[in-house]
Amino acid sequence: MNPPKQRRASLLLKPLLALPALLLSGCTMAGIRLFHPAGLVAGAEMHYTLILVITMLIIIVPTLLMTIIFPLRYHHSRNAKYTPDWHFSLTIELLAWGIPFAIVAFLCYLTIQGVYAVNPWAPGILANAPGARQPPINVEVIATDWQWVFVYPDQGIATIDDLVVPSGRVVHLQMTATSNMNGFYIPQVAPMVDAMPAMESRDAFELDQPATYTGFSTDFSGAGFSWMQFSTRVVPQAEFDSWVASVQANPNQLTYAAFQKIAQPTVNAGAKPAYFSAPDKNLFGEVMTAAMQGVVYPVPDSFTKRVSDNSAQGAQAPASPQ
Amino acid sequence: MQVAVDGPWSPLLGRLSLAAIPYDNPILVSTFAVVALLGIVIIGAALYFGKLGYIWREWLTTVDHKKIGVMYIILGLVMLFRGFMDGAMMRTQQLLADGPNSPGYLGAQHGYLPPYHFDQIYTAHGTLMLFFAATPLVAGLGNLIVPLQIGARDMAFPYLNATSLWLTVSGAALCMISLFVGEFSNATWVGLMPFSEMPTNPGVGVDYWMWAFQLSSIGTTFNAINMIATIVKMRAPGMRWFRMPVYCWSSLTTNIIGLSIFPVVTVALTMLGIDRYFGTHFFTAGYGGNFMLYVNLFWIWGHPEVYFLMLPAFGLFSEIVPTFSNKALFGYPTMVAASFSIGGIGWVVWAHHFFTMGMGPELNGYFSAATMLVGIPTGVKAFNWLFTMYRGRITYATPMLWALIGLVLLLIGGLTGMMLSASVFDYTVHNSLFVVAHFHCMVLVIGAALFAGVTYWWPKVFGFKLDERNGQMYFWTFVLASLLVFVPLFYLGFAGVTRRLDYIYNPALKPLLWVSEGGIGMYFVSLFYFGKMLYVSLRDQIPAQADAWGTGRTLEWLTHTPVPFYNFAVTPQINARDELAWRKAKGVEGVQPTHYVPIHLPSNTAVPVIIGALATVFGFAMTWRIWWLSIASLLAIIIVVIIRSFDKNEGYVLSAEDIAKMENQVALASIIAEQPKRPALAQVEAH
Amino acid sequence: MATSNPTGAALALWNPGADEHDPISARTYGFWLYLIGDALLFCSLFASYAVLDNPVNAAGGPLTAQVINTPHGLWQTFIILASVLAYSLGTVSLKNGNAAGVQLGILAALLLGGAFLYISGTDLWALAAQGNGPTRSAFLSVFFTLLLTHGLHMLFGILWMLVMLVQVGVLGFTKDVVGRLLNLRLFWQFQATMWVCVYFYVYLLGGAR
Amino acid sequence: MSSHYNPLQHPEVQQGTTGRYIAAFLASAALMGGAYYASTQKLPLMEFAATAAALSLAALVSQLALFFGLNISQAQIWKGVALFLAIPLFIITIGMTVWAFSSLYSRTMPMDGMLMSGQPTLLQ
């Protein structure tokens, strides 16, 4: 399935799905992020969703109409035709099983196709993407309690809560976590994938237009979970290169010891970013190994019992040792 | 081998100390005041009217399936109320804590609940609604109606039945105790791993959750065994398999599911328990532990559990729609086939709850496709209900209204569920409010079915109908409230709002949150009408007919209203599917038996309620690590069971004269009437 | 009883006395259902075992092949089968109400069960004493849990047998006692069946890998 | 009435016979002994697994048929049906769990790659 056709389909179908949303809350339409996918992966997700929904509406809408019409039509006051003993019809039963079966078969076919298209480990849809000819940008993602650490092994830099990637390049993400499971998600951009301690998961996306998105955790991981956001900035290649150079010049180095301080439970309200040069080459592996050896970063009692005070502290406290 | 716990521990009281009582939290203190006041009023009233002995003799120690059913339903409704209050608090918190400039009250930075408290509230909401509201309501209606519909005297194992009830109650009691002593779990109702493990969650909250869950699931397993054995072994003569009402079929499938899934979650919880108590490493991240294993085991239970609750709802619709369409159920055999298909498919789709965890596309593809298959039998059921209404004579009594709205909700929930089953869509909304809205649609189907069922069978049990006028007001306000609460959640989900947020980052979402909060307000209005409905019906008590709705078709409407505690004075002979409709067609629905034979009934026993109380103590002691008390209460349970097994009591016999008297004056046999003491039989040895 | 409807045909509408169901068969059926639930409990343990029997989950500790004693396992298999045989022969004496025969069968089954538990217990104890206790790794956690779950079932069965020894003497063969004896036979037999699965899966397959 | 009811005449009491039980014991013990014998024979893994599985399965069937006395008579049919319905669940629980985790392990736990080279001591 080639991408341009897909986008056309999405453009055509989008208003259909958006209509009720518009009616209900026109003012917040802009906030309904999933109706504005960016990039091929999210585009494919939207595309498949729309086809699936429309296929299902083929059966849902008539059934809904019947649900409304039958009780009205056959209300006792209307004296419509009444057949008290009619309780079986082979034709209707065959249709009742057959039509859903046909529709479900089609949906199954479509959804399996879709699964391969957006498989986060190796999205089929990115195989022929414009950026596929260039080497991918590799980013290692470590979810701590409750911040995101992004390590760029090829560039030798690291950031907190700030994912910067060049446009027109495929981005490969490798994820793990320190002590709790988190869900990595950038709506409109990348599929949701869990970041899990002692395990490694992956995600991938490519965006061709510079833009800024918000990402966050989707899997509850404790008291600071609601604040666990990060910004995703897609910038032109040249800007990315100069940004990398500026971070490389940063004197803060992300050794494993420095990381252990960062990984202490911290609420980074407002997702204030921090930048590091020369991260430990094997930081990702060391975090995974530590998790496998049973290292956890326990949340101090003060955070759990009186987190209201602490989230305030967290907002003022430096997000990272600088 | 006890894992060292943070903080003080003493041999006598374990981790329990005065600091465990949250007297500094105004919300909990006021809740405690209300609960304590209610408790005092209820006990005081019972004392004042001299009913304490009656409650003990006729209710707490009963083994009558109808009384047990009623108590299940009372438990379910009380817990439904508490779960609803939790839900209201959550929505209010999200409304208040919206955006960085949102104000904070009662010591919270945003909103009025600190994250830790908020997390406990939604955990409690999920746990209570599923295990202590929906499950008891489903089990209660099943207990009440299935033996009546198959013409049985009681369940196959009345004593086990009471034990199931009291184990469920003990789980609910632990949840209630956790409000005022210590804390509840903050690790969500599914128990997130490794978050629930000792290193990251050292408090007693997870233990409370674990034991409440464990005790109630043991109760539910027993109940499932009992129901299956009842349906297989206790059917009245002539009640062949394909003469059983569809509700019994759906009870059978549901309990087959229940029996097969609950052991799995028992294992998962036990593993978590020994992790927490003995320091093993099943679900930790380190030492080779695999927390995905918990997720896997949990959802092996968790997904069929959805159908465990859903199938009885379908069964209820299948009873109510024909009655109020005054027409036989359309497509009975395919209805049965669809129930079994749903049960079977429900067992092989669990991994769609963790599409985002990193299984390969072949697995995600398989689980997506398998999940979609559920749409086929569910669609068949919907069509069969529609064609039952087609060319019927429909009346809009309250149960029918609930059934109709349930059908509409099922379509919406089904559509969104089919969307979610496609993992390509799930990647965008997993763990979002869209999911929350979807499964609330589904539980509202269950809720609608349960309200329908309670309204429908109320007159059979108590002898008078619930007030129609207030019932309909309750219905409309409830439906409006549900729409207001949950439609915005779909949109919030599309906006990318995650579930379980105690703070929402985007102030632009305020209008939607307000709509949702308006729905909560509307729920309070509907609650008022619910109370008014109860009050008016209890005040007027207009006697109902045996066939209370006039168009009943199944066996339970054949016996007296209110139903005597012995169900049928003489066991009916079954001649057809929809026996009562058949008798009406033959003009013999009023023919009563001409003579009676004595009925053998089991005696009441205090053992189940004692087991329940000891189980509560056991759970509490384990939670607080009071080892001596845990061992003592566990031993006490075993000793009580052994003592009971030496009991020679063989029940009692209701003489034919007694039956004749009660048949002429039905109120004497009603389940709320106090029965005179009847001498027990002793068991004799065989030779 | 039959009654006639307006058309005069005889219709059976009521069936006096038909509510006397067969209590023993309902009871063994209910217990059978419980055993199926119990089998699913073991089944989830086996599934967990299959997942955790993996070098990743051994965390550097031993795997199945290093912690089992296959010949011991074989002896345990024979012992538990013999125990079931003893109990079953006891129930053959039940056919003609021979209380002494029943008690003898139970007693033999009980002693053999005790021997089984003794072997199991000493093996596990020795393993834990080597430092390979259940807290060593996730694999050992599931290994111990699987074997101890089976052991706890056996222990419960032995307790039940003790109670039945007394009940046969004190109460005689009442309906309840006979029902319990039949259920206990199912329960004890079920432990042997589960042990065959454990022996096959853990001792033979696990040992071969 | 239950007072006239002789529990010893119940078919489930009367069904047991000494011969059948002894046969059950001998069959099960021989089959399990055979499986043990196969384990001492240095067979290739798959071949041994198949042999041991077949013998153990036969031992289970012999217990079901001879010890439990499961058959399709009126007294036992519903037990048979219950077991028949449960067997697929046993297979699904174990089989699909193993399938899911085999995929998950190969994707999320790359043992021989980065980790082993980084920390060779961990898993030794």
pLDDT in tens, C146-162: 999 999 999 999 999 99
Cβ distance D16 to C95 less than 8 Å, yes or no, reads yes
The whole-angstrom distance between D90's CA and the closest CA on chain B is: 10
Q: Which helix (H) or strand (E) element contains residue B293?
A: helix B291-325
Cβ distance A108 to B368 less than 8 Å, yes or no, reads yes
Per-residue pLDDT band for D111 (boundaries 50, 70, 90) equals low
Residues of chain B with pLDDT under 70: 1-4, 683-687
| Nearest-CB residue to B284 (from A25, A34, A294) | A294
Report angle CA B173, B178, B183 to the nearest 5 degrees.
165
What percentage of residues in chain A have a pLDDT greater than 70? 84
Between the alpha carbon of residue A110 and those of residues A46, B368, B423, C52, D33, the distances in Å are 13, 10, 11, 35, 52
A285 Cβ under 8 Å from any chain D Cβ: yes
Query: Which amino acid appears at position C112 of this protein?
Result: L
D122 Cβ under 8 Å from any chain A Cβ: yes
d(CA A15, CA A7): 13
Instruction: Quote helix, strand, coil % in chain B, to nearest 5.
Output: 65, 5, 30
The whole-angstrom distance between A78's CA and the closest CA on chain B is: 9
Using an 8 Å CB-CB cutoff, list chain D residues near C182: 12-13
Query: Is residue A154 left, alpha or beta, with left meaning phi > 0 and alpha meaning psi from -120 to 50?
Result: alpha
For residue D60, give the nearest of D32, D23, D88 by alpha carbon: D32
Cβ distance C12 to B575 less than 8 Å, yes or no, reads yes
pLDDT in tens, B474-524: 999 999 999 999 999 999 999 889 999 988 888 888 999 999 999 999 999
Per-residue pLDDT band for A318 (boundaries 50, 70, 90) equals very low
Better-predicted residue by pLDDT, C65 or C163: C163
- Strands A201-207, A137-143: pairing is unpaired
**Given a cut of 90, is residue D122 above it in pLDDT?**
no
| Nearest-CB residue to C196 (from D5, D39, D59) | D59
A122 Cβ under 8 Å from any chain D Cβ: no
| Nearest-CB residue to D114 (from A196, A199, A285) | A285
Q: Provide the ipTM.
A: 0.92
pLDDT in tens, C169-191: 999 898 899 999 999 999 999 99
Better-predicted residue by pLDDT, A306 or C42: C42
**Given a cut of 50, is residue A31 above it in pLDDT?**
yes
Between the alpha carbon of residue A119 and those of residues A3, A44, A180, A190, A191, the distances in Å are 16, 11, 24, 11, 9
**Given a cut of 50, is residue A315 above it in pLDDT?**
no
Cβ distance D122 to A289 less than 8 Å, yes or no, reads yes
Question: Which residue in D has a C-alpha nearest to residue C32's C-alpha?
Answer: D79
Q: What's the average model confidence in pLDDT over D104-122?
A: 56
The whole-angstrom distance between B49's CA and the closest CA on chain A is: 45
**B522 DSSP assignment:** H
D85 Cβ under 8 Å from any chain A Cβ: no
**Given a cut of 50, is residue A308 above it in pLDDT?**
no
Q: What is the pLDDT of residue A1?
A: 36
Cβ distance A121 to D107 less than 8 Å, yes or no, reads yes
pLDDT in tens, D53-68: 999 999 999 998 888 8
CA torsion sign for B311, B313, B319, B323 is negative
Token pair in block for residue A83:
């057949």
| Nearest-CB residue to B266 (from C21, C41, C144) | C41
Top residue of A110, A178, A192, A193 to mutate, by most chain B CBs within 10 Å, is: A192
Between the alpha carbon of residue B587 and those of residues B388, B545, B581, B582, C8, the distances in Å are 24, 17, 10, 8, 12
Question: Which residue in B has a C-alpha nearest to residue A225's C-alpha?
Answer: B501
Cβ distance C40 to B274 less than 8 Å, yes or no, reads no
The whole-angstrom distance between B156's CA and the closest CA on chain C is: 7
What topology does CATH give the domain C23-208?
Four Helix Bundle (Hemerythrin (Met), subunit A) (1.20.120)
Q: Where are the domains of chain D?
A: 1-69, 71-112
Cβ distance B383 to A31 less than 8 Å, yes or no, reads no
**Given a cut of 60, is residue C195 above it in pLDDT?**
yes
Q: Where are the domains of chain C?
A: 23-208
d(CA B435, CA B429): 7
Better-predicted residue by pLDDT, A142 or B182: A142
Using an 8 Å CB-CB cutoff, list chain D residues near C82: 25
| Nearest-CB residue to C88 (from D21, D38, D39) | D21
Q: What is the pLDDT of residue B338?
A: 96
DSSP, residue by residue, B72-116: HHHHHHHHHHHHHHHHHHHHHHHHHSBSTT--B-TT-SSBSS-HH
Continuous H helices in B463-606: 468-494, 510-540, 579-586
Cβ distance B503 to A25 less than 8 Å, yes or no, reads no
Q: What is the pLDDT of residue A132?
A: 86
Per-residue pLDDT band for A224 (boundaries 50, 70, 90) equals confident
For residue B328, give the nearest of B405, B397, B389, B241 by alpha carbon: B389
Q: What is the pLDDT of residue C143?
A: 95
D120 Cβ under 8 Å from any chain A Cβ: no
Q: What's the average model confidence in pLDDT over A80-94?
A: 92
Query: Which amino acid appears at position B273 of this protein?
Result: G
Top residue of A141, A199, A203, A256 to mutate, by most chain D CBs within 10 Å, is: A199
Taken in order of first residue, the domains within chain A and their CATH numbers are 3-118 (no CATH), 131-295 (2.60.40.420)
Question: Mapping DSSP to helix (H, G, I), strand (E, B) and coil, where does residue C16 land?
Answer: coil
d(CA B128, CA B25): 21
Q: What is the pLDDT of residue A6?
A: 45
Q: How many helices (H) and strands (E) does chain B have?
A: 21, 2
Q: What is the pLDDT of residue A304?
A: 57
Continuous H helices in B587-624: 607-623
Q: What is the pLDDT of residue A258?
A: 93
Using an 8 Å CB-CB cutoff, list chain B residues near A108: 368-369, 372-373
Q: What is the pLDDT of residue D120?
A: 34
d(CA B431, CA C53): 31
A146 Cβ under 8 Å from any chain B Cβ: no
- Strands A169-177, A201-207: pairing is antiparallel
Cβ distance C192 to D28 less than 8 Å, yes or no, reads yes
Phi, psi of A235 (to 5 degrees): -125, 160
Q: What is the pLDDT of residue B687?
A: 54
| Nearest-CB residue to B359 (from D5, D89, D103) | D103
pLDDT in tens, D92-110: 999 999 999 988 888 888 6
